[in-house]
Structure 1
Amino acid sequence: MDEVVRGNRVVWEQASTKHVREYDELLEQARGGADLFPRELELLGPVLAGGPTVVHFQSGHGVDDPALVRAGARVVVGIDYSVVAAGAAQRRATEIGTPCRYVAAEVPGVPVRDECADLVYTGKGAVIWMRDIDAWARDVARVLRPGGSLFVYDAHPAVPLWTWDEDEPRIRPDRSYFAESHVNDTFPGDGAREWQWTLGQFVTAVSRAGLQLDVLEEYAEPFWRPGDGTTAAAWSGRLPNAYALLAHKNASSAASS
């Protein structure tokens, strides 16, 4: 783990104490108060119908994992480099008796065996923390069984450009779509360094890893809004704020190395 990633991990260990402070609220969401977005369920329906084994890269608070089980997953293994987040998620999963387990580890370099998953699920603030998107995609391909799927539902790569002005969407003067990285200045990742991958770079990395693209969709609605009632003109339907990607590993493919 290099110095920048180590610094990001410190930030996220501190931010993840929120998952402990809000344990009861997240527990109720895990019990059934929170589900996947409707479009996620639509796109993942055929995959989840088969009772897949899921590996969730960068699982965070883990609330999506019981939702995946309710939607059909047989078991979910969550991977997150925050010990605090993984520990709180495991406690909740154990308390509600759902077949989810958590491992504190860096992504890429997921400590699971090759070709163990039918579905790799990730997103909702995950991809921006990947310093090497090609290594990430290769790890996805390694973990997936032939015929397995990758599903990503995340912030659109253009989102770092949008200001949160209420009257008009504006582009931040300190950001570029083609920049290598920038420092996050909003909670919970305040002070951590994000890496910027264009949509083209992301799709190319997935393809290079040997996965075949099935669906790529862009949405005006962000996957997350602040809980304090903040409303931004950038979220009014004119600009891309989220995307979904579904890809699969060909049945004849060997795991990428």
Structure 2
Amino acid sequence: MNLENMIHKNLLRWNEITSIHEKSAFYDVAQFKAGACTLKSIELEEVDDVKGKSLLHLQCHFGLDTLSWARLGARVTGIDLSDEAVTLAQSLNDELGLDARFICSDVYKTPAALNHEKFDVVFTSYGVLCWLADIEAWARIISDCLKPGGTFFIAEGHPVENILEWDNEALKVAYPYFDPEPIECSSETSYADRTTKVSNTDTYQWQHSLGSIVCALIDAGLTIESLKEYPFSSYEKYPGYMELCEDGWWRFKSKELNAPLLFSIKATKTK
């Protein structure tokens, strides 16, 4: 299957699960409408004050994090491949009386979709990189969208997390760490709702090593300010083997398991 068809398969999946996610306890749209902020401590601390700044959110899904940035005073634009997600995001924006802008676009076409507009901050997070075939082109897009002196920030599932699976009650390496080929995946449910079955079960994903992500950003002209790794996850990645802690992060129940589950990168464009 060629790349265009793979992306189309992924789009069908995301369009279908958008309505499932809207109703899920995982996203808890009702609480968000009541004023809850969906941003997590990592990005709030690292990105810091966004009041008055222009912020571009890549692969924003249906916009809860994007709208949370808007509530914090940023002038936000959300980009996503899924037209269903973008429609829902814009509807939420209008309902809540916020001033966000949402655009449906392939992430690689972002500069053209935005008429090469530049931003103070480019942000993306949690479950985005596995959908990208070309990490070098992604990094160039980020650089192209940033103003000189602008900040890029990503919080994301660690590449080590992506190669692990539970097998006979043990955590084992199930996928290669270095693999440029697409991985064909199949799941009857979504991470946000493991009870509702979907018809679009198949997707294509890509594994990117931490080194390839960092080098892509450097090669695109960004200066890495920080690279951090964390022993917790933003959701129950391994059901039954993790627990939700008071700080809102999911950790392994067993203290013997000490693998990186998240990472973050903060970078700046100096020119």
TM category, shorter:
0.7 to 0.9
Residue 185 of structure 1: how far off its partner (Å):
3.7
Equivalence for 1:79: 79
Letter in 1 for 2:55: V
Change (3 A) 1:222 1:115: same
Q: Which runs of 5+ in 1 are unaligned?
A: none
8 Å Cα contact 2:57-2:123 kept in structure 1: yes
Aligned to 2:105: 105
Partner Cα separation in structure 2 for residue 42 and residue 232 of structure 1: 25
Q: 2:219 aligns with which of 205, 208, 225?
A: 208
Comparing 28-37 with 113-122, greater Cα deviation is found at 28-37
Query: Is the 8 Å Cα contact of residues 53 and 76 (structure 1) preserved in structure 2?
Result: yes
Count matched residues.
245
Alignment of 1:100-179 (within 5 A): 100-110=100-110, 111-164=113-166, 167-172=169-174, 175-179=175-179
Q: Is the 8 A contact 1:169 1:232 kept in 2?
A: no
Q: TM-score under structure 2 normalisation?
A: 0.82
Change (3 A) 1:185 1:221: farther
- Give 2:29's aligned residue: 26
| CA distance 1:178–1:62, change in 2 (3 Å) | same
Question: What letter corresponds to residue 118 of structure 1 in structure 2?
Answer: D
SS of residue matched to 2:62: coil
Matched, 1:44 2:47: yes
**Cα RMSD (Å) of the superposition?**
2.5
1:193 to 186, 204, 218: 204
Alignment-derived partner of residue 198 in structure 2: none
Counterpart-to-counterpart distance in 2, 1:138 and 1:243:
20
Residues 142 and 152 of structure 2 are in contact (CA less than 8 Å); yes or no, is this contact kept in structure 1?
Answer: yes
Amino acid at match of 2:56: V
- CA deviation digits over 1:94-117, x for unaligned, max 9? 111122121111011111132521
Which of 225, 240, 244 is residue 260 of structure 2 equivalent to?
Answer: 240
Distance in 1 of aligned mates of 2:37 and 2:230: 20
State TM-score, norm by structure 1: 0.86
Q: Contact conserved, 1:115 with 1:146, CA < 8 A, in 2? A: no
Amino acid at match of 1:91: S
Q: Distance in 1 between matches of 2:30 and 2:122?
A: 23
Check conservation: 2:71, 2:98, Cα contact below 8 A.
no
Change (3 A) 1:89 1:95: same
| Larger proportion of strand | 2
1:110-153 deviation digits (Å, cap 9, x = unpaired) = 11132521111102111111111111111111111111111101
Q: Give the superposition deviation at 1:170.
A: 2.0
In the alignment, which residue of structure 2 is the partner of 1:68? 69
